Amino acid sequence: MEKRLADPTLTPQKIAQAYGISARALYLLFDGEPGAVAGWILNRRLERIHADLINPACSTDAIAVIAYRHGFRNAAHLSRRFRQKFDMSPREARQKAS
């Protein structure tokens, strides 16, 4: 699953299918995880984006490029979700790191 996080079409149904289990079985495996499977996917993507934003090697990459790299199709959606998780915008995270 970690290897496919950058795929914007990654869904719980595709994960279940890849592992040969039902979607219900997959959701049971993620029981207690905030947001279940989709929440886990979102959180892992946001963590990877945050890591890139504070990484000096990625400092010249546009935020939209970083978003696309980690499975977000829309930079505005990233900004909303990023702020919900980190209580700052992606730009603020990058500025804080420099």
Residue range 51-90, pLDDT digits in tens: 999 999 999 999 999 999 999 999 899 999 999 999 999 9
pTM of the model: 0.88
Sign of CA dihedral 67, 69, 70, 74: positive
Burial 7-39 (b: 16+ CB within 10 A, else e): eeebebeebbeeeeeeeeebeeebeeeeebbee
Q: How far is CA 80 from the centre of its chain?
A: 12
Q: Output DSSP code: residue 6.
A: T
Residue range 41-60, pLDDT digits in tens: 999 999 999 999 999 999 99
